[in-house]
Structure 1
Amino acid sequence: MAELDGVWDVKRTGGALPPMLGVRKQISGASGETKLGPLPGASFDVVGLSLRYRAPFAGFVDVLERDEEGYRGRATFCGREFGDFELERIKTGGEMASEQLKEQLVKHIDEAYAMEQNVLRMLDGMIGTTEDSEIKNELREHKLETERHAERMQQRLEAHSATPSMVREAGGIAGALLKSVLDLTRGEKAGRNARDGYATEHLEIASYQLLERIAQRAGDEETAEAARENRRDEEAMAK
């Protein structure tokens, strides 16, 4: 797919151009046309970032420059500029669906990261209230593993130019604090901690299975692999 391929809305920004309401440029490869509604279009050839119109509009050339949202353009005739405009890409249904899928993927990575942060805080509480030395050592190993899982998810967030959600972080802190208070008031701590650990492992396994599927649908194999690695670790711990 060429850089300019697609359908573009044209917006007048200055000069002697007429109102551009309803004007669009349709570009495919090395050619395209400027159209107004159902009327016949003016055909042009794409040469780099120049749109060179064909007869009967020979001599007209649109010169484009990249912009944050699309392109800025200068309308020229025989080398003389007579107007300015902007191009904004019209997203197709497939493109919008792809963007929504990527947004969903980032959301699930963020939730996985928040989940691991919450588990870390819960593990701290469980380690502090468990007297059984064997279970305490297992919990400490689980904490080291969880730190690696959180780091993988943070790296995947950074790969998508995203940062952890402070709202989810706050929710994780509140949940961990509540569990710490409950741990101090309830009996049979070792047995209850073992039960909590078992339930947490299976929640994490299910979360990473879902993240892996979403990443595969979004074409993000690196995130899918990170989810697989975390899931395998959780499955091994759950045995």
Structure 2
Amino acid sequence: MTTIEKKLIDYLKDAHALQQHVQGVLSELLTTAADEPDLCRRLGGYARRNRENTRAIEDRLRAHDASPSIVRDAEMLWGAIADVLKSRRNHVGRHVRDGYVAAHLQIAEAEMLRRIADRAGDAETAEVAAAVCDDAREISAAISDNWDAAVELSLRRHGVHPHR
């Protein structure tokens, strides 16, 4: 196996772990944003595509005779659980912020994976990475369109009813 193939597999494993983390963030965000049907609809679609992208990444790992990294997946899972436990008291704003950050982490990870795949001559993995990137950009825009709704939800959960 060449060095670039090893690197590609490394990036695929990282991408898989991040997909797992994002799924946890999305689950919490969907629960938090239940009062905002438009945002929930968009988040739900993104969660479905995120699961599809995760399966596609797993397929690409298998194509390279590799599998997800249990250690990386576990680290991301425990990180996500710790974040949820820390922010459980509130925090609509924190969940929305974390969703936005997670989307941008996916964009960065997918851009790197796409470029490594291109250099390794793996067009299928490059396509998967491009799909992840496109989906993450779309949900980032959806979250950006809803900052005011997130603030309103957060304030309402704390008994503050702002006057407009």
TM-score by length of structure 1 reads 0.55
Q: Which residue of 2 aligns with 1:110?
A: 13
Deviation digits for residues 147-167 of structure 1 (CA, Å, limit 9, x no counterpart): 011011011001001111110
Task: Give the letter for the 1:138 counterpart.
Answer: R
CA shift for structure 1 position 131 = 4.4
The answer to which structure, 1 or 2, has the higher relative contact order (CA under 8 A, 6+ apart) is 2
In 1, the alpha carbon distance for the partners of 2:73 and 2:47 equals 18
Q: 1:173 is matched by which residue type in structure 2?
A: L
Residue 126 (structure 1) aligned with residue 29 (structure 2): yes
Q: Deviations over 1:8-29 (max 9, x none)?
A: xxxxxxxxxxxxxxxxxxxxxx
Q: Is this contact kept in 2: 1:112–1:207, CA < 8 A? A: yes
Q: Which string of whole-angstrom CA distances, capped at 9 and with x for unpartnered residues, describes residues 190-224 of structure 1?
A: 22222222111111111111101101111111111
1:208 is aligned to 2:98: no
- Contact 1:120/1:147 (CA < 8 Å) preserved in 2? yes
Kept in 2: contact 1:125–1:183 (CA 8 A):
no
The structure having more radius of gyration, on CA atoms, is 1
Identity %: 32
Contact conserved, 1:201 with 1:238, CA < 8 A, in 2?
yes
The structure whose residues are more often strand, as a share, is 1
Structure 1 position 99 matched with structure 2 position 2: yes
User: Which structure has greater helix proportion?
Assistant: 2
Structure 2 Cα separation of the partners of residues 236 and 151 of structure 1: 19
Instruction: List runs of 5+ in structure 1 lacking aligned partners.
Output: 1-97
Secondary structure (helix, strand or coil) at the match of 1:113 reads helix
Tell me if 1:137 matches 2:18.
no
Name the TM-score, length of structure 2 as normaliser.
0.78
Aligned residues: 140
